[in-house]
Chain A
Amino acid sequence: MKRTPKLLIFLDVISALGLIGALLLVFLFTPVEKTMGLVQKVFYFHVASTWMGMLGFLLATVASIGYLRTKNLDWDAAAIAGVEIGMVFVLIGIITGSIWARPIWNTWWTWDPRLTTTLIMELIYAAYFILRSNLGEIRQRARLSAVYAIAGFITVPLTFVSIRIFRSIHPVIIGGSSSGMFSMSGNMLITFVSSLAAFTIFFASVFWHRYILERDQRAVNLQSPEED
């Protein structure tokens, strides 16, 4: 197994520091929000995590296109890394969202479009895994799951558009509208952006690790070819 690239080690350190730093900001720097109280602090990680989850899916789709064009299996490794990491981050996003929602809206879940579409994305990528598990041969598996990932991702903008059609109780924070539930003060904004940055770096390092793991695993498999 090759040594972890220096840049990745650096990234790991930065992301660890970043996450700790963000936590500190969240609990020490930002004020407690007036109406929602302490639980509002979940928001910083909730949004960051969800956005990273989306990023993972985006990367997976790009990687899928990359595989279909170049037939280089490294793209496929990137795709599976993207989907896996994406799924975990979105799951964290959904759970933190629930935690936030319960005291505020008095419900663990609501069928509001943004939530629902996020859940659907999780299902699409769960289906992606089921598809992969039914395919043995690596090239066919890479090709067909790439097609599915692309098809799945195409539905995302459509489901996002449906947010604008339904009136949503999900708070709109950027480009806030009348249905926004709180506006961010300066401190909050700084913390929000910092959390986002920390999560992005964390995402990058986790993704990179997963990608290397996948690639190395395949190299090991290929070292013992079954030639008749």
Chain B
Amino acid sequence: MKFIKAVYAIFSKDLINEKRTFETLGSMLVFALIVVLIFLFSFDLSVGLRKEAASGIIWVTLCFAGTLSLDRTMALERETEAIDALRMAPYDATVIYFAKVLGNWFFLLVVAGIVVAAYALFGNVMLFTGGFIAILLMGTFGYILIGALVGALNMQIRSRGPLLSVLLFPLLIPLLLAAVNASSLVLTGNDPAGLRTWVGMLAGYDLLFLAAGIMLYNKILDE
């Protein structure tokens, strides 16, 4: 289908751009690793606590690091007004939404993988379980679904930096709650019912914001 090909074309273009400069992944990785290390230094936790704290620390880090790619991927389109060329392409504007969701998710997952590995390494904690990874995927996806929407809003205001976080973070709370709780529970494994509920919330959040993104994105890009 042409629409899917177009999504992929925009996504590839963003990857090529990143390959050239490495600025997004680079800054995200450096930032995320520093944040994780700061957390680990600041709270002198015993091994047991480090496992409990893992979810919270990792998700907070990802939330912050994620804003870097959300900002950057839309700012790229504003630089030379390429966004106008994308809007002139013969597709509904959601083609841009999906492409940015894919691109940002890709970057965030790379960073998440490295952050989790770093935490596991420095904190001496086992984190790579199937359940944890599944929740990582669901949570980051939800984050990007709403993040791409707010990123587009941010691009329209032509602001860079803090405003994106101010607009995004209050909307993320339920997602963050669900992701952190689900991750914790999957690591400790002692409350399967609770885990099911939180995972359900996570799924609900993903679906809800996917629908919202599809419906609202056009309105953001209209002029």
Chain A contact residues, CB within 8 Å of chain B: 68, 117, 120, 123-124, 127, 130-131, 134-135, 140, 143-144, 146-148, 150-152, 154-155, 158-159, 161-162, 165
Contact = CB atoms under 8 A, between A and B. Distances in A.
B220 interface: yes
Contacts of B220: 143-144, 147
A69 to B, nearest CB: 10
A140 to B, nearest CB: 7
A131 B216 contact: no
Contacts of B209: 154
Given A130-B166, A151-B212, A159-B173, A140 B153 contact: no
Interface in B141-183: 146, 149-150, 153, 156-157, 159, 163, 166-167, 170-171, 173-174, 177-178
B22 to A, nearest CB: 30
Contacts of A131: 153, 157, 163, 167
Contacts of A147: 149, 153, 216, 219-220
B174 to A, nearest CB: 4
A214 B208 CA distance: 32
Contact of B167 (A127, A150, A154, A161): A127
Q: In this complex, which of A120, A124, A130, A147 has the most chain B Cβ atoms within 10 angstroms of its Cβ?
A: A147
B212 A154 contact: yes
18 contacts: A120-B173, A130-B166, A131-B157, A143-B220, A144-B153, A147-B149, A147-B216, A148-B150, A148-B153, A150-B216, A151-B149, A151-B150, A152-B170, A154-B208, A155-B173, A158-B205, A162-B174, A165-B201
Contacts of B201: 158, 161-162, 165
A134 B163 contact: yes
Contacts of B174: 155, 158-159, 162
Contacts of B204: 158, 161
Contacts of A120: 170, 173
Contacts of B222: 143
Interface of B: 146, 149-150, 153, 156-157, 159, 163, 166-167, 170-171, 173-174, 177-178, 194, 197-198, 201, 204-205, 208-209, 212, 216, 219-220, 222-223
A141 to B, nearest CB: 10
Given A147-B216, A147-B220, A150-B216, A155 B157 contact: no
Contacts of B159: 134
Nearest to B174: A158
Given A152-B170, A155-B171, A161-B201, 11 more contacts: A120-B173, A130-B163, A130-B166, A131-B167, A143-B220, A150-B216, A151-B212, A158-B208, A162-B177, A165-B198, A165-B201
A143 B204 CA distance: 26
Contact of A151 (B166, B197, B198, B216): B216
Given A130-B163, A155-B171, A144 B157 contact: yes
Q: In this complex, which of A68, A117, A162 has the most chain B Cβ atoms within 10 angstroms of its Cβ?
A: A162
A127 B166 contact: yes
B170 A124 contact: yes
A127 B212 contact: no
Contacts of B178: 162
B212 to A, nearest CB: 5
A156 to B, nearest CB: 9
A131 B156 CA distance: 11
